Amino acid sequence: MCGIVAYLGEKCAQPILIEGLKRLEYRGYDSAGVALLDGGAIRIKKTSGRINALEAILDEPRTEDTLGLGHTRWATHGEPNEINAHPHPDYTGKIAIVHNGIIENYGTLKTWLQNEGVKFLSDTDTEVIANLIGYFYATGDGSEESKQCDGQTKFEWAVQRALRELHGTYGLGILCADFPNILIGAKKGSPLILGVGDGEYILASDAAAIVEHTTQAVYLADNEMVTISPGGFHTKTIDNVPITKELSEIEFSLEQIELGGFEHHMLKEIFEQPKALTTCMGGRIDAQNGRIKLGGIDSYLRELTRTKHLILTACGTAWHAGLVGEFLFEQLARIPTETEYASEFRYRNPIIEDGTVVVCISQSGETADTLAAVEQAKERGATVLGIVNVVGSSIARATDAGVYLHAGPEIGVASTKAFTAQVAVLTMLAVELGRRRHISSNEATGHIKELAQIPDKISRILEQSDHIKQIAAANAGQENWLFLGRGFNYPVALEGALKLKEISYIHAEGLPAAEMKHGPIALIVDAMPTVFIATAGPQYNKIMGNIAEVRARGGKTIIIATEGDENIKQHADHLITVPDAPEILQPMLTVLPLQLLAYHAAMLRGHDVDKPRNLAKSVTVE
C-alpha cells in the first residue's frame, strides 16, 4: 500500500517526482524518498515522515537529472524509518528500485543471497528484489541465455530473471546506473500505469500522479514489464514474450483531484455526492419508462435473472455497501444472497454451484483480498462481475463484466462518495432484476422515480453540516460510541461506526439495534453517545423501544430521523433529519449525517482526516 512514481524525459525529474508523490500520499505517508541518476551514479535521499520532511532534506533540483524514482510508504516489513524507506539500492550500488506490494518468499531469498555474500541494510522485503536483480546483473546465473546478454539486454534479463523468483505482489520502478536513459517498470498484483506524454514518460501507482502531464496512459497487466527510453517504450511479459499495449484516455481531470476550496478531500467528496450520484445514474435510469440499463453487464442479465445464488464480496466500506445489496436482492428480486468478506472468502471453501454469480465490489479496483476472491471465484466456475470506480483497474480487467461507478476520483482515505455510488449501482441492479423476476413494472417504475430524487435529497442533508458539527462538538470527548440501526439501516450503522473509528480514533461499534440487549447494553454509561437511525419504516416502533432502553441507562441519544417526525424530538438529545424516502433507498441518505459527524469529530480532536494513522487508501497488500 505504497505510492510509486518514476520519470524519464527532458525535464528536471526531482520536482515532478515530488509533485507526483504529493498526489499519491494518500496511498501511504510514513516515509518517503527519491533516487536520481547523477553522472553514472545513483543519488538517493529518503527519510521517515511525510513528503514535506523529504522536501526539507533534498538538494536543489538539477536540470541535468532527467531520470528518477520516487516513493511514499505505508510500512509492512520493517518500521517506518530512514533505512527502511524507499528507494532501495542493491548491494553493488548499480540498481535502485521502488516497490508497492509484498514479497511472500523474501525470507528464503534473503537467506540464499546472504549465503552468496550479499549484504543487507534494511528490514524490508523490497531490498530482496533490489539485491536479486543486482546479483543476476553482476553474476548472471550460469545459463547460456545469461552469457549471451550484454548492455541493456543484460539489465532487462536480470530484471526478468529476478521477477521469476518472486512469490507475492509488486508494482516496481527500476533504474540501473549503467543506463542513464532507461527506466523499467513491472507489475504483478499491484497497480502500475505508464503515462505517455510529449517526449516524457511517468510511471506511477495510479493516474493521480500522471494527469497533470498527460491524459494518455498504458495500463500494465500482471506479469508484464515495460522498458522505457527517450525513443519510446516496449512491453513484454516477464518471460520475454513481446506484447502490444493500447493507449487509453485517463477518465478524470486534474481539477477533480484538487481540493477546490475545501479544507480536506474527505469533506469535498462528501459534498460531491449529489453530483457523483447524478453522474453514476446518468444514462442508466429511465424514470419515464421504468427501465434501468447497465451497459457493462447487459449480456449477463439473463444469467443474473436465472441465478439461484448470488455472492457479494468486498472489504471495509465496500462490504457495508454489499450488505445493503444483499437486502436489496433478496427483497426485490428474491435471490438468495450472501455477503462475504473477501479476506475470508479467499481462504474458505465457499459453496459455488452451477449458476452462482459472484459480484466483487471495490472503489479502487485494486484491493488485494477482493482481487484474490475474484480469482478463486473464477477458478470455481462462477460468473464474476465487478463494481469498481477506477477504470482499467485490476478487478475491472479480471472480472467477466461489470459496472463502473463513475463517481470521480476519491482521494480521502475514508471512503464516502464511493459508498453511496456502490449502493446506487446495487439498487439499480436489484430493481432491474426484481422487475424481471418478482415485482411489477409499476413497482419498479416507482422505485426508479424515487431513486432519481436521491441526489437532491442528499443536497438538503448537506445543508445541516454546521448543525452536525455542533453535535460532534458536544460528544467528541467521549471515547466509546454505539451506532444502531434496523433493516436496511443496519449496514449504515456499521458504516457510521467505521467512519468514526477511521478518522477520529474513537472506539465505536455498529450493531443491529435489537442485538444491543443481547450483550452490548452492558456498555451503556452516563453520557455515552448512541447513534440511532430511526427513520420512518416498518421497524420504527421497535427502534423506539431501543431508544428508551438507552435513555433509561443514562446514555445520550443522537437520532437520525425522517423530516416531520415530531414524536421523536422528545427522545433525542440531538436530532438530525433526512428527507423521507422508501426504506430500500434510505441508506444513501442516512449515511450522510454519519459521514459528517465523523468528519467534524475528527477535526475537533485535531486529526488529519485525509491521512488517518495506520491507514492508506487502496489496500493492495494482505
Q: How confident is the model at residue 129 (pLDDT cuts 50, 70, 90)?
A: very high
For 380-406, what is each residue's pLDDT tens digit? 989 999 999 988 888 998 999 999 999
Same domain membership, residue 235 and residue 278: no
Residue 122 lies in a domain: yes
Domain termination site, one of 250, 285, 302: 250
**Residues forming beta bridges with residue 100, ordered by sequence position:** 171
Long-range pairs for 279-284: beta carbons < 8 A, 24 or more residues apart: 279/406, 279/407, 279/408, 280/405, 280/406, 280/407, 280/421, 280/424, 280/425, 281/424, 281/428, 281/451, 281/452, 281/455, 282/406, 284/428
Same domain membership, residue 463 and residue 511: yes
Quick one: CA dihedral 229, 235, 238, 240, positive or negative? negative
Same domain membership, residue 526 and residue 446: no
Q: How confident is the model at residue 620 (pLDDT cuts 50, 70, 90)?
A: low
As a whole number of angstroms, the distance between CA 477 and CA 473 comes to 8
As a whole number of angstroms, the distance between CA 470 and CA 243 comes to 58
Same domain membership, residue 268 and residue 245: no
CB 52 within 8 A of CB 97: no
Q: How confident is the model at residue 514 (pLDDT cuts 50, 70, 90)?
A: confident
Same domain membership, residue 397 and residue 280: yes
Task: Give me the chain's average pLDDT, please.
Answer: 91
Q: How confident is the model at residue 252 (pLDDT cuts 50, 70, 90)?
A: confident
Lookup: cell for 239: 518471460
Residue 615 lies in a domain: no
Q: How confident is the model at residue 38 (pLDDT cuts 50, 70, 90)?
A: confident
Lookup: cell for 231: 525513443
Domain termination site, one of 217, 250, 283: 250
CATH code assigned at 165: 3.60.20.10
CATH code assigned at 519: 3.40.50.10490
* Number of domains within the chain: 3
State residue 386's pLDDT score. 95
Q: Which residue has the higher pLDDT, 172 or 1?
A: 172
State residue 552's pLDDT score. 81
As a whole number of angstroms, the distance between CA 618 and CA 599 comes to 20
Phi/psi for 594 (5° steps) reads: -75, -35
State residue 518's pLDDT score. 85
Q: Which residue has the higher pLDDT, 148 or 128?
A: 128
Residue 434 lies in a domain: yes
Q: Side-chain half-sphere of 259: how many Cα atoms within 13 Å?
A: 9
State residue 155's pLDDT score. 94
Same domain membership, residue 23 and residue 85: yes
For 76-123, what is each residue's pLDDT tens digit? 777 878 899 989 999 999 999 999 998 999 999 999 999 999 999 999
Question: What percentage of the chain carries pLDDT values higher than 90?
Answer: 68
Same domain membership, residue 404 and residue 265: yes
Lookup: cell for 289: 419508462
Segment holding 373, helix H or strand E: helix 368-379
Domain termination site, one of 223, 250, 277: 250
Give the per-residue SS3 of 329-362.
Answer: HHHHHCCCEEEEEHHHHCCCCCCCCCCCEEEEEE
As a whole number of angstroms, the distance between CA 612 and CA 463 comes to 26
As a whole number of angstroms, the distance between CA 129 and CA 114 comes to 13
As a whole number of angstroms, the distance between CA 24 and CA 460 comes to 33
Identity at 128, one-letter amino acid code: V
State residue 519's pLDDT score. 82
Residue 602 lies in a domain: yes
Same domain membership, residue 469 and residue 350: no
State residue 1's pLDDT score. 64
| Catalytic residue numbers, as ranges | 2, 617
Same domain membership, residue 492 and residue 432: no
Using the CB atoms, write b or e for 489-527: b if 16+ within 10 Å.
Answer: bbbbbbbbbbbbbbbbbbebbbbbbeebeeeebebbeee
Q: What is the CA radius of gyration of the chain?
A: 26
Smallest Cα–Cα separation from 320: which of 107, 493, 174? 493
For 436-484, what is each residue's pLDDT tens digit? 998 998 999 999 999 999 999 999 999 999 999 999 999 999 999 999 9
For 340-365, what is each residue's pLDDT tens digit? 999 998 788 888 888 899 999 999 99
Backbone angle region of 306, left / alpha / beta, with phi > 0 → left and psi within -120 to 50 → alpha: alpha
Same domain membership, residue 47 and residue 81: yes
State residue 407's pLDDT score. 93
Smallest Cα–Cα separation from 542: which of 484, 614, 608? 484
State residue 617's pLDDT score. 64
For 528-576, what is each residue's pLDDT tens digit? 899 999 999 888 888 888 888 888 888 899 999 999 999 999 999 999 9
Residue 350 lies in a domain: yes
Residue 622 lies in a domain: no
Question: What percentage of the chain carries pLDDT values higher than 70?
Answer: 98
Residue 109 lies in a domain: yes
**Residue 383 domain boundaries:** 258-452
Lookup: cell for 172: 516496481
Residue 385 lies in a domain: yes
The contacts of residue 416 (CB under 8 Å, 6+ apart) are 266, 269, 270, 273, 410, 499, 595
pTM given for the model? 0.87
Same domain membership, residue 87 and residue 24: yes
Same domain membership, residue 538 and residue 439: no
